[in-house]
Each structure stands twice: as C-alpha cells, then as structure tokens.
C-alpha cells in the first residue's frame, strides 16, 4: 500500500520510534520533583525543548509543549487576544486557514469580537496588501498559515509579519505543514505546530510566544509549561517529537529536492494522462511533497475508493467525501473546481516507482468512475436546438449537475445559454470552474424555487 497522505499525518519516523521507546523507560517520572527519577525526566524535557527551539529558531523559554497542534492554535489565539484586550477585539485570519484557526475565529465572534477574513487568489495565496488593508487601531491579532494543508501553497509570511509589526499587531503563524522543511522566516510573534505532521507521535504540539508579546493564558492554569499548557507533560511523546523534528530537518534539503521532482512529475503528467483536470495551488511557491488536482465529472469519494483498491491512500477536499456535502473551504475560497478533488502528499522516502505506478493507475480509475456516472466521453457535437436550455439537477449531488451541463452544452448555439437548476452547494463553485476550464462565460446565479439557477453562455 502506498501512503500518499502525509499532509494529514506523516508515518512515525524511525528515530521517533527509538526515542519514544527509550523515553518510556527513562522519562516516566514527574519532572517537577527533585528526586533522581524526577531529575532524569526534567533533563529529557529540557533537552527536547532546546532541540525543538533550535529547529523553530526561538528561545527555549519561549516554547511550550501542548497536547496537540489544535490545542496550540486555540491556546495561542485565545491567549494573544486576551493579552491585548485593552487594544481591541478585532482578529484577522485568511480564508484558507486550518479549521482550528477558523473555529477559534468563530468562537471569538460568538463572544462579541470581530473578525476580518482575508481572501486569496486562484492559487490560494494572500496578497500582503489585503492584510494591510484590514489592519485597524483595535486589531488585537492577525493569523496566517505558513503553507496550506490542502493545496500546498506557501504564504508570504515574512512580508505580512513586517506589515503587522509596523502596525504594532502580533502575527500568529500556523507552521504545521512547513516546519519539517525549515524555520519560518520573518518577524512573527507566535507560532504553532503539530508533531504528527513531521513523523512525531500524535497528541503533541508546540506553541511559541516571543518575548515581549502580551499573552494571558485562558482557563485554569498550573505551574507546568509556563502556565500555558496545564497538566502532566507527556515526556516520552515530547522526546520523540523533538527527535523526529531534528531528524527530518537533517534530511530536509536533499529530500525536498527529490520530492519536488516527483510532485512536479505529477503536476505535469496528470493533465496529459487524464482529460478535464485542473491542477490547483501555486506551481512554484509550494510545499515539496504536496500536489492537488480536481477531475471534472467525478465523484470524489468513489475515486478515492477506487485508488484505495489500487493500493494508494490519498485525500480529498471534494464535497462528495464530506458529511456536510459542502466543498472544502480552501477550494471554495480559491474559486477552483472541487469535484473529483485529489490531494497527493508524499511522505519522505517515497520511492519513484510508487509515483510512476500511481500515474499508471490514475487514468483508468478516473475513466471508470466517469463511466459509472454517465459522464460524456468527449465534447458533444455542436448542433443548434434551442437558444436556451434548462437542466434540472435538483436533488442530485456533485458531480452530476456539471455532467448534465456538459451533456447538453453542445446542443446550444454560440450565444445561447444553459440554466442549470441545482440545490447542491458544490454547484456554486464547480459550474463557474467548469466555465473557466472550458473558456465559456459564467453569467451568474439566479434564485429558482428550491435551489438556484446557474446560467452559462456558450461563447465558442
């Protein structure tokens, strides 16, 4: 089985496994106690903090170990907002942040705070000027991920941090995806990360709060971890996380070159092997091992099952694979095709042969799913029938509305329109994306009874 979902969780690094087993024997005692066992545990904890701080590029006393990356985000945002409550209650986030950041923003709004959500371009990248435009006198905190977890796009963190610093606003960086590849540049104020993203054990995260940043921990606190993460430290997991981070960093430069070549191979060849595909994310400023593409006329969940049967574990942001039946908030913010979405995220050490096998299997898997759904095999011949057609796709989920649109589009003369009736949230994203890919005009959305009418005009 080829595991291509490292952006969700990387396999446990061999160094982490060794460190974890050793620390289970040596680091079980309370590091706050002065007896021999306690001192031994404290030495392990301090050494791990030093190693992690060196990898981040911060002081050891600025780094706190938490019970997860999500907990680090929640604690970091809540503590920074509380520490600057006299300044105001305005929070800035990008529209493509990890759900942990967006959930914190929603909680802040529910508690009476205000939130500005910064848009991204079609490649998933924010504009520095967009952050600068929403900074206010009452802005307490800004948040920006270093790289996106779904499409791999890297963000201009250093430039945004400079703008925020000039305005006196701290910037929190979610570095979960990028930290294994190197420290985050720029004058940021807070940083969070999660060990299972770099081959450490799950249930271990880190929160960095730079000296001089106003921070007030929320909720009950104790004497551990500077009062920022209450409870007994999981020393074996912390030791393993720090060891794994040091190990992947030692391999990062060489492995990044190799994985970039493999993902570039996927980016270049998938559109040639599979018709009607959109490769999404920034083609240059991106993580080494992540490549994401979306296939027209494909049910994402079915495609993932087909690939799983062929021996490939991948992920998807398609609405067809979610319980909410809504597209990924990242793909939605980018305005790209969501149906049939596949994220390939290669772990370190992925053999070239597995990538080649994936490229050999993918076309047949996509074709099989399209055939089951009755998707058009090729563009329909142009034949004048009506100046306007109505496609009733109410009650039918992605990718059926787009498939039905494609089936009849050739029957409309140049200048004619098709109105697609749909009550599926994904249609609001996927029909405009289909027009973008096909070079046709998306006229807009109109109310239509139970759902909406999406109007497309044929221009060629």
Q: Is 340 left (phi over 0), alpha (psi -120 to 50) or beta?
A: left
**Is 320 a known active-site residue?**
yes
Ranges of beta strands (E only) in 384-458 are: 388-392, 417-422, 441-448, 451-457
Q: Are strands 312-313 and 114-118 parallel, antiparallel or unpaired?
A: unpaired
Give the integer Cα–Cα distance in Å for 393 and 398: 10
CB neighbour class for 236 (10 Å; exposed up to 12, middle 13-18, buried from 19): buried
Assess contact for 408 and 392: CB atoms under 8 A: no
Assess contact for 8 and 16: CB atoms under 8 A: no
Give the integer Cα–Cα distance in Å for 175 and 192: 6
Assess contact for 108 and 146: CB atoms under 8 A: no
3-state SS of the chain: helix, strand, coil percent to 5? 40, 20, 40
Residues paired with residue 279 on neighbouring β-strands, in sequence order? 293
Assess contact for 307 and 314: CB atoms under 8 A: yes
The single-letter DSSP state of residue 210 is -
Instruction: For residue 296, give both structure tokens.
Output: 């027209």
Give the integer Cα–Cα distance in Å for 266 and 244: 28
Residue 249: other Cβ atoms inside 10 A: 18
Give the integer Cα–Cα distance in Å for 274 and 418: 26
Distances in whole angstroms, Cα of residue 365 to Cα of each of 278, 310, 375, 392: 17, 9, 14, 28
Q: E strand or H helix at 453, and its extent?
A: strand 451-457
Of the candidates 164, 320, 398, 435, the residue annotated as catalytic is: 320
Give the integer Cα–Cα distance in Å for 340 and 293: 8
Give the integer Cα–Cα distance in Å for 154 and 281: 9
Residues paired with residue 453 on neighbouring β-strands, in sequence order? 421, 446
Q: Look at the block and give the residue holding tokens 């099989």.
A: 368
Assess contact for 209 and 81: CB atoms under 8 A: no
Give the integer Cα–Cα distance in Å for 143 and 166: 15
Which residues are annotated as catalytic? 320
């Amino acid at each position: 089985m080829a595991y291509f979902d490292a952006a969700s969780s990387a396999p446990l690094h061999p160094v982490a496994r060794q460190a974890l087993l050793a620390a289970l024997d040596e680091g079980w005692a309370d590091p706050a106690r002065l007896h021999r066992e306690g001192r031994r545990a404290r030495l392990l904890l301090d050494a791990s903090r030093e190693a992690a701080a060196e990898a981040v590029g911060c002081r050891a006393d600025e780094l706190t170990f938490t019970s997860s990356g999500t907990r680090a985000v929640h604690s970091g945002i809540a503590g920074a907002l509380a520490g600057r409550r006299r300044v105001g209650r305005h929070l800035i986030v990008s529209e493509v942040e990890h759900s942990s950041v967006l959930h914190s923003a929603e909680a802040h709004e529910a508690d009476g705070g205000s939130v500005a959500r910064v848009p991204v371009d079609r490649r998933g990248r924010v504009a520095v000027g967009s952050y600068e435009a929403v900074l206010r006198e009452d802005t307490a905190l800004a948040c920006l991920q270093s790289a996106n977890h779904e499409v791999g796009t890297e963000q201009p963190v250093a430039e945004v941090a400079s703008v925020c610093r000039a305005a006196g606003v701290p910037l929190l960086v979610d570095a979960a995806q990028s930290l294994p590849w190197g420290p985050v540049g720029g004058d940021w104020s807070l940083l969070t990360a999660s060990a299972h993203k770099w081959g450490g054990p799950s249930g271990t995260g880190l929160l960095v709060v730079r000296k001089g940043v106003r921070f007030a921990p929320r909720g009950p606190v104790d004497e551990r971890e500077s009062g920022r993460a209450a409870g007994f430290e999981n020393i074996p997991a912390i030791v393993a996380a720090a060891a794994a981070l040091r190990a992947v960093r030692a391999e990062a430069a060489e492995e990044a070159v190799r994985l970039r070549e493999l993902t570039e191979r996927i980016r270049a060849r998938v559109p040639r092997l599979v018709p009607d595909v959109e490769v999404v994310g920034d083609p240059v400023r991106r993580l080494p091992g992540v490549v994401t593409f979306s296939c027209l006329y494909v049910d994402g969940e079915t495609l993932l099952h087909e690939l799983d049967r062929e021996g490939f574990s991948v992920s998807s942001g398609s609405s067809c694979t979610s319980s909410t039946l809504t597209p990924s908030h990242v793909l939605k913010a980018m305005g790209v095709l969501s149906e049939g979405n596949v994220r390939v995220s290669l772990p370190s050490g992925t053999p070239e042969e597995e990538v080649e096998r994936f490229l050999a299997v993918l076309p047949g898997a996509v074709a099989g799913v399209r055939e089951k759904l009755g998707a058009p095999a090729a563009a329909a011949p142009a034949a004048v029938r009506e100046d306007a057609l109505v496609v009733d796709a109410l009650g039918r989920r992605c990718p059926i509305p787009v498939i039905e649109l494609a089936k009849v589009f050739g029957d409309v003369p140049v200048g004619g329109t098709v109105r697609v009736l749909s009550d599926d949230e994904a249609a609001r994203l996927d029909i405009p994306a289909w027009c973008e890919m096909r070079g046709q005009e998306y006229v807009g959305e109109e109310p239509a009874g139970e759902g909406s009418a999406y109007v497309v005009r044929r221009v060629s």
